[in-house]
Amino acid sequence: MHWRMKAVERVSVTINGAEYSHEVEPRTLLVNYIREQAGLTGTNIGCDTSSCGACTVHLNGESVKSCTLLAVQADGEDILTIEGLADGERLHPMQESFRECHALQCGYCTPGMVMAAVSLLKENPSPSEREVRLGLEGNLCRCTGYHNIVKAVLHCAAGASATNGGAQ
Amino acid sequence: MVVSIMGTRVLRKEDPKLLTVGGTYTADLRDARLEGAAHVCYARASALGAVSGVDVSGALATPGVLGVVTNSDLADFPLQPPQMDLFPEEMLRRSWLVDDAALFVGEPVAAVVAESVVAAVDGAEAVEVIYGGGEPATVIDLEDADGDAEVIFGEVGTNLALNLETVDMSTGFSDGDFFEDCEVVIHQRVENHKVAAVPLEGRSVACCWENGSLTVWMSTQAPHLVQGVFRNVYDLSRKDCRIIAPDVGGGFGQKVNHSQEEMLLPELARRFGRPMRWTETRTENLIGFGHGRAQVQRVTLGGDADGKVRRYRLEVICDSGAYPGVGAFLPYFTHLMASGTYDIAEIETRCRSVVTSTAPTQAYRGAGRPEATAAIERAVDIFAARCGRDPVEVRAQNLIAPERFPVTTAVGTEYDSGEYARALEKALEASGYEDLRREQARRRAEGDPRLLGIGVSCYVEITAGPAPGGKEYAKVEITPEGGARVLSGAFSHGQGHLTTFAMLASDSLGIPIEQVEVIQGDTAQIDKGVGTFGSRSLQLGGSAVCDASNQVIDLARETAADILEAASADVVFDAEKGFHVSGAPAVAVSWADLAERAEAPLSADSNFFAAASYPFGAHVAVVEVDRETGEVTLERMITCDDSGPLLNPMVAEGQRHGGIAQGAAQALIEEMRYDPWGNPVTSTFADYGIISAAELPSFELVVMETPSPHNPLGFKGIGESGTIGSTPAVQSAVVDALAHLGVTHVDIPCTPERVWRALS
Ligand code: FES
Ligand code: FES
């Protein structure tokens, strides 16, 4: 017979500026909370070893793989997912850069990749190509060979996307 | 003047959604018909061997578990038809779930159905497989399997699943000395190891029954093909079996075919009277389904001492995994492409597939053609070295000349069009080949521990093949507003058809691309179709869109003539103005005018057939090898990939990038490995070295466009070219870095350990 925690715990978080509060099993991962309870399915799951980064979100402004945290660990915190990145109809410069540089194909890695890239530029606003590649090492993409993803991040850093004012 | 959008870098219509709220993948569906769905988790065999029973009591006692289905519960449920029937009867009779033996680790044993995913997982963990009743035959290595060291299917008496000679899919070897007239003959055993496709989204299915009608949502590359299989298993009419492919997170060949786990889901839904969902984990994806390549080859190449190649023998042994299916048939493509880009007078092939105690193999990006290229490119490199010649010169000397096309190779494959020497020249020029050789010589002379290697590959491959070719369906309708709807039987899962097929219809019909909607992936809306694999979609599915669009124009001409009160022969169509009397463009009829007048929607369809096409190119890889550690760094990849005219160069480049990365990954890092007891040891992303951004350079792409004569716009496929050219180029670069030390061959993946061993 398996030992099992019966209890549920309440989790209250802010996601993309909105308040969410639910009872969850303590073992619920943050990524599952975001997808199932909060109903925000933009954040994806690509592995079971915290290797792929498809689940990357921002927690209090810093990127985290949301499969590495329990939902209860995020209680009271502020979360940003891909759904909250654009300013209404206006794409975030990183989203725009991904579009302009064809940095996505199937789109499965994309939400996590974009969130990781935004956070990368926050820490290092003008990275070299090598720094971008190392910075995104934990985010896997099977479609693009990373070429256009790296290009998009550099394009965004250079302020060259339509939404950060640059010429296309 | 309307400027055609053909050949322009139109940004993708699919992107705004994917970038803002994300795609709607199968696990994301919140469809009302799936309300109250139960979840399945498959308990899997954790060891090989005879199975005497399955204890499900622990699973049944797990909170939230609704029930457990084992194979004995499925006695009255008909077996699913085999993927292919080329193999011995006994190997084809695969039960739904493990019956009396687990033939590979990860084989599904029981379906645990529960209220939630976590409850299903808990339940599956509590399932006990009772092993016993005989020692399992365990054969992991495909050469051991080939030697029948142990036989997996005792009743068959051999591990041989398919000898391709017996079905005319390889030539066999003649008696006598095939290489008698050759001055130089080289032999090499070449491994083309097993890799995993690993789309970032794994398999995922949801289904429901409504009054005897089945709806299945599935992460697949080929909804219409899959519909055929579900109809067969569940004995359903086309109308009662609807397959919907929502957004799909990559396929790479793995999602062309179906698996037990997917096909069984509607039966579980029926038994439990609930909609049903199943999404696999990464580990299940890595161990359960769809490894590719898995060949050992023996190449023998002979010719003149001056570098002229005359004769080639290729022996292929392919690992089909525990249950032979598509993977066992893929050496046929290796045979078809044996000659590569070279003019070789005589070729013999001997191809066979054997069963092993591992997961069944399937198609993986390139599917049989990368293996052919890898074999011949290795052979040519070794032959050149033996002749004391530069590998590039020997290639140039033996490439098929452009004036020979269409040309039939010694194995009977007819290549449509090509300029192989020019592709090689362009790639070399872009790489600065002479400078690279000078730099290499300098480093060697100075004893630099950072060895420089330059590898070159020439390739040609088959798309929309094999002969005679393939078909794809499209229907084009004019909407009441004068826009267009394209219903296509191809299925984009990253390839960008919603944009590129809209470009085709827009260009033919003169309707702005914003007003062209492309619909794919729903068998209820699209009458026919095949799907997207084998780099077939643009040349078949895209050509179908053009053909249907042109038919719509012809149909509309009559109505336009009525409105213009002119004879239809005098009415012309131009994409800018619409229909008008020839020479009088001032009075024109638009699509909106026509839509208003037409009693039924204006529409036409096309089930477009085209013969296979043969994209080609040349890749140059530059690597640095650390002499002390054996570590390889891929410094540059320069590729010239010719797939005919480019509809949207941006999208085509993306296909090339992804392919190049996957091919380089096979050469350097990725390998699906099993231990001697049949346990997969690369069963997570932490162990399977899926390539990351940090291990790759940016790629240098060279453009070349040689049309195919087989479809009106001259398209060839581009989806697999990158993968096919890059593996041998990177491998060759690694060997080249060590060549001055007497190394002539290193098998892939060229891991630091392997390279270090070759160095010492
Ligand atoms: S799902 Fe979180 S890292 Fe893969
Ligand atoms: S776009 Fe498909 S995984 Fe990155």
HEC-encoded secondary structure of B265-281 = HHHHHHHHCCCEEEECC
> What is the C-alpha separation between B233 and B251, in angstroms, rounded?
23
Look up the CATH superfamily of A93-164: [2Fe-2S]-binding domain (1.10.150.120)
**What are the pLDDT digits (tens) for B671-681?**
999 999 999 99
Rounded Cα distance between B590 and B512, Å, is 13
For tokens 């590129």, the residue is: B500
Tell me the residue range of the domain where B505 lies.
15-21+470-610
Model confidence at B140, in pLDDT bands (50, 70, 90)? very high
Supply the CATH number for residue B495's domain. 3.30.365.10
pLDDT at B750: 98
Say whether A41 and B661 touch across the interface (CB within 8 A): no
Interface of A with B in 23-52 (CB under 8 A): 25, 27, 35, 39, 41-49, 51-52
Compute, in angstroms, the gap from residue B659 CA to the centroid of ligand 2: 12
Q: Is the pLDDT of residue B601 over 90?
A: no
Residues 6+ apart with CB under 8 A from B760: none
pLDDT in tens, B389-439: 999 999 999 999 999 999 999 999 999 999 999 999 999 999 999 999 999
Enumerate the residues of chain B whose CB falls inside 8 A of the CB of residue A140.
200, 685, 690, 692
- B483-535, pLDDT tens digit by residue? 999 999 999 999 999 999 999 999 999 999 999 999 999 999 999 999 999 99
Identify the helix (H) or strand (E) that includes residue B752. helix B752-759
DSSP B374-417: HHHHHHHHHHHHHHT--HHHHHHHHBPPGGG-SEE-TTS-EE--
Mean pLDDT, residues B166-187 taken together: 96
Task: Average the pLDDT over B104-118 and give the result.
Answer: 97
Task: Give the mean model confidence (pLDDT) for residues B615-638.
Answer: 98
**Least confident window among A51-65, B525-539, B583-597, B601-615:** B583-597
Q: Is the pLDDT of residue B108 over 80?
A: yes
Q: Which phi and psi angles does B6 have, rounded to 5°?
A: -60, 135
**Among B355, B580, B368, B566, which residue's Cα sits nearest to residue B465?**
B368
**pLDDT of residue B2 exceeding 60:** no
| Euclidean distance between CA atoms B465 and B746, whole angstroms | 31
> Is A52 near ligand 1, meaning CB less than 6 Å away?
yes
* Residue from B420, B422, B298, B311 nearest B371 by CA: B298
Measured CA distances, B428 to B182, B379, B597, B618, B734 (Å): 30, 20, 59, 8, 17
Q: List, for residues B277-287, the tens digit of each pLDDT value.
A: 999 999 999 99
Question: Can you tell me the distance from the alpha carbon of B546 to that of B590, in angstroms, rounded to the nearest whole number?
Answer: 19
- Given a contact cutoff of 8 angstroms between Cβ atoms, the answer to whether B491 and B452 are in contact is no
Protein residue with its CA nearest to atom 3 in ligand 1: A50
Question: What's the pLDDT tens digit per position in B540-560?
Answer: 999 999 999 999 999 999 899
Same domain, residue pair B592 and B486:
yes
Do B446 and B334 fall within a single domain? yes
- pLDDT exceeds cutoff 90 at B79: no
Residues B606 and B621 in one domain: no
- pLDDT of A165 reads 60
Label the pairing between strands A78-80 and B101-102.
Answer: unpaired
User: Given this model, what pLDDT does residue A167 score?
Assistant: 39
Cβ contact (<8 Å) for A44 and B699?
no
What angle separates helix B752-759 from helix B721-738, to the nearest 10 degrees?
Answer: 30
Pocket test for ligand 2, best of A52, A55, A102, A110 (most atoms within 8 A of CB): A110
Q: Is the CB of A136 under 6 A from ligand 2?
A: no
Among protein residues, the one with the nearest Cα to ligand 2's atom 3 is A141
Residue from the list A46, A105, A110 with its beta carbon closest to the beta carbon of B19: A110
Superfamily in which the A9-84 domain is placed by CATH: Beta-grasp domain (3.10.20.30)
Do B113 and B43 belong to one domain?
A: yes
B666 in the same domain as B579: no
B328-367 confidence digits (pLDDT tens)? 999 999 999 999 999 999 999 999 999 999 999 999 999 9
**Please, are residues B308 and B344 in contact by the beta-carbon 8 Å criterion?**
no
Question: Is the per-residue pLDDT at B261 higher than 70?
Answer: yes
Please give the DSSP secondary-structure letter assigned to residue B4: P
B354 with B476, same domain? no
Give the residue-averaged pLDDT of B229-258.
Answer: 96
Task: Read off the pLDDT of each residue in B442-464 and give the average, rounded to a whole number.
Answer: 97
Mean pLDDT of B186-197: 98
Ligand 1: atom nearest CA of A67 is 2
Q: pLDDT-based confidence at B4, cuts 50/70/90?
A: confident
Contact call for residues B343 and B322 (beta carbons, < 8 A): no
Given B556, B582, B610, which residue is the final one in a domain? B610
Q: Which chain A residues have a beta carbon less than 8 Å from that of B16?
A: 91, 99
Q: Pick the residue of A102, A109, A113, A139 with the most B CBs within 10 A to test the interface with B by mutation.
A: A102
Whether residue B631 is found in the same domain as residue B727: yes
B493 and B583 part of one domain: yes
Q: What is the pLDDT of residue A139?
A: 98
**C-beta separation of B289 from B324 below 8 A:** no
**Do the chains contact at A44 and B118, CB–CB below 8 Å?**
no
pLDDT at A2 over 70: no
**Confidence check: pLDDT of B175 > 90:** yes
CA distance B543 to B159: 43
Could you tell me if B626 and B572 lie in one domain? no
Nearest atom within ligand 2 for CA of residue B201: 3
The per-residue pLDDT for B327 is 95
Look at residue A36 and give its three-state secondary structure.
helix
Domain layout of chain A by residue ranges: 9-84, 93-164
For residue A107, report the distance from its CA to the centre of ligand 2, in Å: 5
Pair (B371, B503) in one structural domain: no
What is the B121 CA–ligand 1 centroid distance (Å)? 18
Task: Give me chain A's average pLDDT, please.
Answer: 94
For residues B188 and B298, the answer to whether their CB atoms sit within 8 Å is yes
Residue with tokens 């159905």: B113
Q: Is the CB of A104 under 6 A from ligand 2?
A: yes
* Strand residue runs (E) in B505-592: 516-519, 571-574, 578-581, 584-589
pLDDT digits (tens, 9 = 90+) for B12-51: 999 999 999 999 999 999 999 999 999 999 999 999 999 9
CB distance from A6 to chain B under 8 Å? no
User: How far is B391 from B397, CA to CA, in rounded Å?
Assistant: 10
pLDDT averaged over every residue in chain B: 96
* Mean per-residue pLDDT, B113-132: 97
**Which residue among A46, A100, A102 sits closest to B654, beta carbon to beta carbon?**
A102
Classify residue B281: in a domain, yes or no: yes
Between the alpha carbon of residue B587 and those of residues B507, B523, B593, the distances in Å are: 21, 41, 12
